[in-house]
Amino acid sequence: MCIATVLASNPDVLLLDEPTAGLDPRTQLWLTELLQELGDAGKTIITATHDLEFVEQISKRAIVMGEDHRIVVDDNVEKVLNNLELLLDSNLIHEHMHIHSKLVHEHLHTHKGKHVHEHDTECDLSSTRSELLLARE
């Protein structure tokens, strides 16, 4: 695995791009625990991901980048993940299917205009593609 090669040089900073993509659940857990241990050991871990559950587990800080590659928000993970409007506007969740604290919501209906979902948030169908960058401090 490539991460073993990188860790052999004992870097102070790790840069990861979508590290959970394509991993089976056991390997995702192994990677999550490894990154938590590295963070606890004082390593800086910067991760670009769309996996919001992973974000919750490995990071204290979240930076959301917009489609224009500019920072939309830089705040603690809890505040970012609880900001439904930000997540929708940044295209990190979909207005018709998304996860809230491991609970999947599916809203099956037409895709025209605005509408209100079970969590009482009005959703606008316009959104941009964004990435969530994480820093464990």
Buried b (16+ CB within 10 A) or exposed e, 51-81: bbebbeebbeebbbbbeeeeebbeeebeebb
% pLDDT > 90, the chain:
45
Q: Where are the domains of the chain?
A: 2-136
Number of Cβ atoms within 10 Å of the Cβ of 8: 8
pTM above 0.75, yes or no: no
Q: What are phi and psi of 58, to 5 degrees?
A: -115, -10
Residue 41 confidence (pLDDT): 95
pLDDT (tens digit, 9 = 90+) per residue, 44-61?
A: 999 999 888 898 899 999
Residue 113 confidence (pLDDT): 53
8 Å CB contact between 43 and 11: yes
Residue 90 confidence (pLDDT): 87
Q: Which two tokens stand for residue 119?
A: 């969590």
Residue with tokens 């991993």: 23
8 Å CB contact between 121 and 107: no
pLDDT (tens digit, 9 = 90+) per residue, 65-114?
A: 988 889 999 999 999 988 988 988 888 887 776 555 555 544 444 444 55
Q: Is the pLDDT of residue 128 over 60?
A: no
**What top-level class would CATH report for the domain 2-136?**
alpha beta
Distance CA 65, CA 123 (A): 20
137 or 20, which is more confident: 20
C-beta contacts of 83-89 below 8 A and 24+ residues apart: 84/119, 84/121, 85/121, 87/52, 88/121, 88/123, 88/124, 88/127, 89/124, 89/127, 89/128
